[in-house]
Structures are given as structure tokens and as C-alpha cells.
Structure 1
Amino acid sequence: MSTKSKKNSSKDQFSSFGFIMAAIGSSVGIGNMWKFPYLAGANGGGAFLFTFIICLILVGIPILLAELALGRAGRGDAMSSFQTLAVRHRKFWGFFGLLSVIAAFLIITFYMVVTGWTFQYAIGSFTGNLYRQTDNAAYFAQFAGGPLPLVYTVITVLITGAVLIKGVSKGIELFNKILIPILAILLVVLMIDAMSLSGGMKGVEFFLKPDFSLFTIESTLIALGQAFFSLSLGMGAMITYGSYVDKSQSLGKATLAVSLGNIVYALIAGLIIFPITFAFGLEPAAGPGLIFVALPTAFADMPFGHVIGGTFFVLLAGAALTSCVSVLEVIVAFVIKHLNWTRRKSVIVLSIITAVVAIPVSLSVGGPIADWKLFGKGVFDLFDFTASNILLPVVGLAVTIFIGYISKKGAEEAKLNPSLHRIWISLLRYVVPVFVILIFLYSTGLI
């Protein structure tokens, strides 16, 4: 390995606080701010929130700790960490690390497109252009299918690349240490404003008061999947970040901090969206269109709505960018390790490739290639389905089995006290695999 590669892959590490901020940044993305609220709205509000937290404890936290332990013990990218710790069948286990890198690539291409959408909506809200029309659904369709998202995607790629090219401590860590606290402050400000709206407390009650009459077995499976996906599991991000963690860092405490941060961000997001939803008579179960179609209607009628709406979409953009950084870093670390490239070369080349591949991804959302289908799905939906519904659960299951049964060194890296260690390993061996298989079967439509 070249001197530059070795420096970037092994010596450049997170500080304790910086790691927690970076890990929270990775897990807190559009999934928390966008997907979680509309899933909760469609599945009983507080009942979904309660079930989500239980699933996070039983499934999300054990796998998150396993990925961090795997990364720190392996001290490499997602693929080489598996290979380093595997006593036998190194190529077999390394294959699952490679799958996580492939998943990260698929995810980053469409995630950067969505991040670009949030930029447009933030600018459109602050300038008032977003509210100079009445059909928000038509506005979104026209915008998403046009050329402008390509410009915002390139901007997203440039910002992400600029962070990563600075390395771990001066790039990823510094970026998250600045952005995550700012996002937290903005979230709280918007939450207080939303809850003070007339009728807003009805939204708070809907979100926090469990109504299990609206909850079904399918809702449980959805909450289970959200608990898994919301922590950035299965895509190699936490394995890669784990490889940058100092040996003195308590992985157990860090896991709890990241999981708590994940819950808090999702909780506050709900306390922003549902008060607004109820105050303006919107449908809480509006689905994916809740953010880009329904909420702009409320912002248009709200006092200082252009500022509030703009701030909300800036929050979305910031949360999305922290996730973009962690996902692209998975691929950067892989290339540095296996091609012996410098970090600078890796980031530049991968940024160009990502931007090029994102073009058909963006144009498949109502654009000129929207009718191009493979397995009945457009490019955007195909990348999303393949990564989120197939690759992430498969890799998550592999991590669970690997740390639970195969790698004693990886399991010991968690450095838990004996009682907690036994509980954690028991969950990994007997509970988590069953739930991850259920996630896979449900997300792929097999059940």
C-alpha cells in the first residue's frame, strides 16, 4: 500500500465525540425526516412509534453494535474487515462486504438526486416561488422530470466530495460536528413553532398517543424494517466508520448514543410534521407525497410560511448530506484499500462516476426515460428496491451471523461486560436473524 493510502485508511481517525456526531449524521437522513413521519401517519401514529422503538432495541441496536465491532476489529473497508476476521472461507465472507459496497453505490446515486430536490424546495420556499402555484403534485412532477434536478445533483456531489477529500478527522468529523448540532437547534425551533399552531396539539396527540386499533401485523413489519433501515445498517457505513474509531472509544455507549439520537430526530420530525398536518387539515397518511406535495400547501397558508418551509427543507438537505457523506465514504474506503489509490483520486473519480450514473436515475422520475422499465421498475425505483429491499437485509443478516457465530475476535471487540455480552450475542444468534429474514421477506413482497 502506498504511503498516502496507508495514512488515509489507518492513521486518520475520529475523536470520541466526532465519531458519535458522524454516526448520528449517517443514520439521521431523509429516512427520519421524511419516511418515518408518513409511515407513522399511515400506521396508527403513537402505536407505530412505540413499536419502532421496541424493534430498534431488539434488532437495530444489536446489529449496529455488531457492525461497529466488525469495523474496528477488522480495521479496513467493509470487504476487507470481513476477510481479516474470517478464520476460514475469507472470500465467502468478503463477498458480503462487497455486496454492502454495491448497495452503497446504488443508494448514493438516487439519494443524491433526492437531496437535490430538497435544495430546490428550500430555495423555492425562501424566494416564494414554491407558493406561486396551487397544484403541488403537478409542480413536483414537472420539476422532478426536468433537467434542473441534474444541476442540484451535481451540487450535492461537489459538496459531498469536498468533505470526503479532506479525510476523516478534518472532513467527515468536522462536517458532522458543525452540521448535526445546527440541525438539532433548527429542529427544536421548528417543533416549538409547529406545536404552537392552532390545532397543532391534535397532531401531537395523534403522534404520541398509541391507537392500536389502527395497528396491524403489517404495521409491525413496517416498523421492523424502518428500525433496520434508519440506522444505515447493511450498507457498510457503520463498518467503515467503525474502522476509524479509536480503541479507547466505548462502542456500547456509542451505539446507545447513536440510537438515541436516531429516535430523538425522528421524534422531533414527527412533532413538526403532524402538528402542521392537523393544523391545516392535511391527511397524516398521505404517504411519500406528504413532504413534497402536502406540506407546501400548509407552508403557503402559514404566517412566515416561506421562512418556516425554507428552514424545514434546509433541515432535510442537511440531514441528507450527512448521509451522502457516510455512504460515499464506504466506496471511497473500498477503492483506497483495494486499488491503492490516494483519497483525493478516489473521491474525484467516484464523484464523477456517481454524477454520471445519477443522470438516468434522475431522468427516470417523470423524465424522458420514465418509461424505461426493467423488472417493471424504472431506474430510480430499481436501484432503490435492489439496495434497500434485497442487499441491505442480506448484508445485515451476514453481519449478524458472522459476529454471533463466526468471529470471536469481532464479538470481543465490543468490550461489553459479561452479562451484556451474553444478552447481545444471544440476540444476534437467536432473535435478530429471524427478524431480519422477516424484513427481507416483507420488503421483497414474498410475504
Structure 2
Amino acid sequence: MADHIQSSDSGLNGSNDKFSRSGFIFAAIGSAVGLGNLWKFPYITGMYGGAAFFLLFIMCLLFVGLPILLAELTIGRGGRGSAASSLVRLSGNRLWGGFGVIAIAGAFFILSFYAVVAGWTLHYMVLSFSRQLFADADFGQRFAHFNGSWLPVLWQFVGMLVTSAVVYKGVSSGIEKFNKIFLPGLVILLLLLVIRALTMKGAWEGVEFFLMPDFSKLTTESVLVALGHAFFSLSLGMGTMMTYGAYVDKRQSLGSATLAIGAGDLIYALLAGLIIFPISAAFGIAPDQGPSLVFIALPAAFAAMPLGWLFGGLFFLMLAFAALTSTVSLLEVPVAYTQDKLGWGRRLSTVVVGCLCFLIGIPSALSGGGLYGWLSFGGGRFLNGWILSPQTLFCRLAALL
């Protein structure tokens, strides 16, 4: 099988469509800095001890996450195929392709619910900039009403449409250009919101909680959660980095790229914490509320501050940028596989996979109420089941070992 490995400096399956050196860094960081560090990271940090958990996360990222990231990029560049075919080409054993298929399926199903949450951020961005979000002070009721209607399906469709349009245009013309525009915009928004958060009265209590460790709060469970989040935030185990690796220039240093991606992910998590925790402290909000922190508690905080509609809109715009850079990388994984396995063109693959993912995501979009509110997963809402099940499964497997 070794003779099937692509030795030329081409992209997937010999295609000339590949990343430039800087384009790959932008795209890979864009994949890593998704909703995980802005939506999930603050509330799990709040649940597991603040700064002590952040330090634990850094250790997991450095000593476990980055070596695996480098391995995945190496496999992708060496195999020059999808996550499945690269493993087969490098191992010479077709059984390894099954592990790649599992990763690809994981990316597909993660995207099916990730696009739903991306749709929430787009909806709330529009509501905030139009000031409709602040017309009623009952933000919990507003979120419940929205989540129990058909609107999440509409906004899920918008998120998938934008994602599919980017992937449809290809690697260099679509994914690379998209990330080169959105990622700098995301950094600017992060810095603006950090400045605003740190200048609030009482904000430094949140900074101390985030940056002053209390190791007595660490438990075995917090170690597993930190490790799981390191995997999730770097897009590991879902075929993304193996797929992106297939488009990397053979002269590019993967070691340097890995360090750059890890640094980008850590800086992003740090800035996210310097936004969420100061605002939470300034307005007396518990930082361990889960999804309601972003869509219920923080809008109440924005409503109470001068120009809150503007800063709220910028916050949800930032969330939307983060979500879409990740949905693009997730969609590319199954699209690359259909091109590789079925011989389809990029455009047909993108349309078919994008439509299927949208349809499969509808139960998640409607699980908050409405026609399919009865859908459940493990005793909870269908969407919560998708989100929590990978981490829960990881923790249970680790406990068995």
C-alpha cells in the first residue's frame, strides 16, 4: 500500500487546491477556536474551580493535546486523503480505515447540533443589534419561547447555508479566505470586549477567580473534564486535523504549526475568560450556569450597561464568528470523505452532505419545545444528549480503565 501514498506537494487525492502556509495556520486556529472556549469553557471553569481548572486545562493541552494534534496533521499530510484513506495508505491495513470512518461520522454528527447553537448566536446577534433583545427584561422566558418555536430550524439553516457556501468554494478560495477574514475580526471583537469587561465596577473579582488558583477544588472528575475539553477545543479525534493536514504544503513545519495552533487556542481561552468572568462578577452572575449563562444571564448584564445593545451585539457577533469557523472545518471532513470514497466533485459532495446534516440536525433544533419537544436523550433534551454524551462516554471509559 505504500506506493499509493501521494508523494507530490498536492492536496487531497492529488488536487492542486491546498492551503498556503499562512492560510493553513488561520484555518486550523479557526477550527480550534470555536464555541467550545467561549460557551463551554467559561461555565466548566466556573464549575471546577476557576484558575486551578484553567491551569489543569493548559497542562492537558500541552502534554496530551499538542502531541496528538501533531500526529493527526502528520497522518493527513502523509496520506494526502480523507481521515479514513490516509490511515489506510500509511498503515497498509484497511482495518485502520474503520477508525477514520468513526472520526468522520463523529464530525458529521457534532456538526448536526453545532449548527443549531451557531444559529442561536446569529439570532441573538440580530436581536441585540436591533435592540429587540432588550425590549423585555425576562430573558429566560425569551430564550424558552425562541427555543420552543420553529425559529431554531430557520437559523440552523442559515448557519448551514453559510458553512456550505464556504466549503463549496474550495480550500484556498473558500476555507482559507473565509478564515483570513473572520479570524482577525474575531480577535478585534475579543479585545474590544475584554477592555469593556475589565473597566466595569467589580470586574476584578472575576479576574481573581479566573487567575488565582484554588487547588483544593480539583477532583478526579475535573481532570477528565479538562482532558476532554483539550481534545474538543483542538478539534481532535474527529478527523478535522487529519483532513486539513492533507492540504498542507510539504515544506511547512508541522511542529511550528502545532505550537501556533496551541498558542492560538490558549490565548483565545484566556481572552474568553477575561470577558465572561469580569462581566459575571460585575453583575453578580454565577459563572457555572451552562448554556443559560450566555443566552439568559449575559443578555441581562448587557441590558444593564450603557450601550448594552452594541456590546451585546458585538458579543454575539463574536460567538457567530467562532461558531462558523468551526462548522466550516467540521463540514470539510465528511465532504473530503465523499470526494475520496465516492469520487464525487466538491460541489456535489458539499450540497449532499450539507443537506443531510441539516436534516439530521432538525430534531436537535426542535428539542427545546414545539412539535418535537418530547424528544429526549438519556432523560434530558435531545440536544443536551448530543452535547453531553461524548464527554460522559469519555469519563465512563476512563473510569473503567
Q: In which range does the TM-score fall when normalised by the shorter chain?
A: over 0.9
Alignment of 1:293 with 2:313, yes or no, is no
Q: Quick one: which amino acid aligns to residue 79 of structure 1?
A: A
Q: Quick one: which amino acid aligns to residue 193 of structure 1?
A: R
CA gap of 1:299–1:185, structure 2 versus 1, over 3 A, is: same
Alignment of 1:234 with 2:190, yes or no, is no
Alignment of 1:274 with 2:277, yes or no, is yes
Structure 2: how far apart are the matches of 1:72 and 1:8? Answer: 9
Contact 1:60 1:231 in 2 (8 A): yes
Structure 1: how far apart are the matches of 2:264 and 2:178? Answer: 17
Contact 1:46 1:210 in 2 (8 A): yes
**What is aligned with 2:57?**
52
Q: For residue 370 of structure 2, give the secondary structure of its aligned residue in structure 1.
A: coil
CA gap of 1:347–1:330, structure 2 versus 1, over 3 A, is: same
Alignment of 1:225 with 2:181, yes or no, is no
**What is aligned with 1:396?**
none
Q: Quick one: which amino acid aligns to residue 46 of structure 1?
A: A
Alignment of 1:441 with 2:397, yes or no, is yes
Deviations 1:242-296 (A, max 9, x none): 0000100100000000000000011000001111111111112223321111111
Alignment of 1:26 with 2:28, yes or no, is no
Alignment of 1:121 with 2:124, yes or no, is yes
**What is aligned with 2:384?**
381
Alignment of 1:338 with 2:334, yes or no, is no
Contact 1:103 1:387 in 2 (8 A): no
Match of residue 76, structure 2, among 66, 71, 75: 71
Where structure 2 has 5 or more consecutive residues not aligned to the other structure, the ranges are 1-9
Output the aligned Cα RMSD.
1.8
Structure 1: how far apart are the matches of 2:165 and 2:200? Answer: 39
Match of residue 17, structure 2, among 12, 15, 34: 12
Structure 2: how far apart are the matches of 1:116 and 1:368? Answer: 19
Alignment of 1:313 with 2:316, yes or no, is yes
Contact 2:11 2:80 in 1 (8 A): no
Offset, 1:217: 2.5
Contact 1:14 1:173 in 2 (8 A): yes
Which TM-score applies when normalising by structure 2? Answer: 0.93
**What is aligned with 1:80?**
85
The size of the alignment, in residue pairs, is 391
Structure 2: how far apart are the matches of 1:160 and 1:388? Answer: 25
Q: For residue 286 of structure 2, give the secondary structure of its aligned residue in structure 1.
A: coil
Q: For residue 21 of structure 1, give the secondary structure of its aligned residue in structure 2.
A: helix
**Counterpart mapping for 1:351-390 below 5 A:** 351-373=354-376, 375-385=378-388, 390=393
Q: Quick one: which amino acid aligns to residue 26 of structure 2?
A: M
Which TM-score applies when normalising by structure 1? Answer: 0.84
**What is aligned with 2:133?**
130
**What is aligned with 1:147?**
150
Structure 1: how far apart are the matches of 2:20 and 2:364? Answer: 36
Offset, 1:315: 0.5
Offset, 1:366: 2.6
**What is aligned with 1:62?**
67
Structure 2: how far apart are the matches of 1:245 and 1:214? Answer: 42
Where structure 1 has 5 or more consecutive residues not aligned to the other structure, the ranges are 1-5, 394-438
CA gap of 1:217–1:385, structure 2 versus 1, over 3 A, is: closer
**What is aligned with 1:41?**
46
Q: For residue 46 of structure 2, give the secondary structure of its aligned residue in structure 1.
A: helix
Deviations 1:394-418 (A, max 9, x none): xxxxxxxxxxxxxxxxxxxxxxxxx
Q: For residue 253 of structure 1, give the secondary structure of its aligned residue in structure 2.
A: helix
Contact 1:144 1:365 in 2 (8 A): yes
Contact 1:14 1:244 in 2 (8 A): yes
Deviations 1:65-96 (A, max 9, x none): 11101100111001101110113xx2321100
Structure 1: how far apart are the matches of 2:339 and 2:386? Answer: 24
**Counterpart mapping for 1:80-99 below 5 A:** 80-87=85-92, 90-99=93-102
Q: For residue 324 of structure 2, give the secondary structure of its aligned residue in structure 1.
A: helix
Contact 2:104 2:238 in 1 (8 A): yes
Alignment of 1:210 with 2:166, yes or no, is no
Q: Quick one: which amino acid aligns to residue 30 of structure 2?
A: G
Structure 2: how far apart are the matches of 1:202 and 1:267? Answer: 16
